[in-house]
Structure 1
């Protein structure tokens, strides 16, 4: 977008980079990227919504264009939630919609449990709201792969040899089925994977999607989802690492929670079905703004 504005915001632990795409008249949309340790996508199709409303992305501390401190005391859910609060305050957002993707849904849920003011609606995209269930879903998916791939992943994680080419090829076979089914992957997605901050990912999550050993190991928001009282949409791809069964279950825990599946996507519908993804988000936020009494 030509009329994008970007800059840096001081937060606890350093400065984070942000970008505002568009200046449409409707209520802003704030997007939280996945990871932990990943970054915002420069080619996120949601930026097209800038003609309707400002679309705000930011790289979480330690990620992308933001500062990269190495103090592991900074890598807590609470500090990342505080960072979101600091971004919202710095940008003087009085009302906004929230969209979290993947690990970003953990942040969104944790933020909403603090009952913040001004959030008009929320979208949980490819939600990770129960770490143990996520791990179990990935292990169930893994059983559908050839024995050789299963054994390579099991052996590499057991022996902590996840840096080998053999492991890389095995994990890529899984990613191409349940992370992003576009073949070949867009160059930007490959670069994003390469730029992942492994210190944050390994500290908070662990070796891989199949084995949660980090500080998020026991993260489970399901017992509190019923506390969310704003309009809530849960979405995932038919082949998503965030399984449709888990995503629909989460939707059922929120009063009037809605559920949407992208039939031709896995975990990256913004890349796999960009037009359908943008249309879903546009229709959702517009509908919330038209609701009587909203």
Structure 2
């Protein structure tokens, strides 16, 4: 199914970052009309250190539900300022840095008093942290395919890995033990997992390929905060855990994941148990990227939730 392209504006917001050593900018794009009177949706991409491209199908909410949609590349990736000299600097690349960037963008756009927020994967982790702070302008939250605890994420990933072909499992384990996760053999084995649990569409959509290309072009943030793959977490987020703080999220929240998602039901369950006003939808034909795998149903579910009063 195709949708009409909404009007689009691209721009940059100045972002003053202590310790960056140079001026920084956050690149963003607005789909639809921010002056329409309809509450805008701000979208947070995953990674950390993936670009916004793979969540671009969400822009069609501007066409299907007249919701202005804002996407941006977080600092260090895509069209925003890159800081490759900061690779491995865990004191620089923090959750707090990206929360500050989000707040800065909301103020730049003048929407800090009334907005909805959707976070996908790492973006959902970031969005949950933002909501825990109870900002006055946040109206509704969508947490898509995200963990509240990285230890739970790794437990789920290890379970999924056990169902991979034995030779694929052996290749992954060997290269992780040897520290050779940058090898073509590891990447090929990793792709088997990705095709099952990250994006099941074959061939991959252009939006997916564009994000993959962005990560390969600059892995600074991804390697520092996450690690070499979706399931081998060695970065600073390995101890991320907000389970005990989720009850502080007071806004209505929609949880989404896919039947084949690396963000399994076990991973998503803490949100369900702890957030008071919560709804959960699982997409029957999707893995980690339902916006790419079941676009029409994703738009129907998310758009309907955001427009319901």
TM-score (norm 1): 0.94
What do residues 227-275 of structure 1 show as CA deviations (whole Å, max 9, x unaligned)? 1111011110000010023213421211131111000000011110000
User: Are residues 1:18 and 2:28 paired?
Assistant: yes
In structure 1, the partner of 2:261 is: 240
What do residues 198-247 of structure 1 show as CA deviations (whole Å, max 9, x unaligned)? 11111111222222221111101111111111101111000001002321
In structure 1, the partner of 2:105 is: 87
Aligned partners of 1:33, 1:69: CA distance in 2, in Å? 18
List runs of 5+ in structure 1 lacking aligned partners. Answer: none
Please tell me whether the aligned partners of residues 145 and 258 of structure 2 are also in contact (alpha carbons under 8 angstroms). Answer: yes
Pick aligned residue for 1:108 from 127, 149, 158: 127
In structure 2, the partner of 1:96 is: 115
In structure 2, the partner of 1:66 is: 80
Structure 1 consecutive aligned stretches of length 4 or more whose deviation exceeds 4 Å:
none
Pick aligned residue for 2:221 from 182, 200, 219: 200
Please tell me whether the aligned partners of residues 140 and 251 of structure 2 are also in contact (alpha carbons under 8 angstroms). Answer: yes
In structure 1, the partner of 2:204 is: 185
- C-alpha distance 127-170 of structure 1, shift in aligned 2 (>3 A): same
Please tell me whether the aligned partners of residues 6 and 60 of structure 2 are also in contact (alpha carbons under 8 angstroms). Answer: no
Aligned partners of 1:198, 1:183: CA distance in 2, in Å? 24
User: Are residues 1:269 and 2:252 paired?
Assistant: no
- C-alpha distance 224-212 of structure 1, shift in aligned 2 (>3 A): same
In structure 1, the partner of 2:60 is: 48
Structure 1 vs Structure 2 CA RMSD: 1.4
Aligned partners of 2:170, 2:180: CA distance in 1, in Å? 13
User: Are residues 1:34 and 2:31 paired?
Assistant: no
Number of aligned residues: 288
Aligned partners of 1:42, 1:128: CA distance in 2, in Å? 19
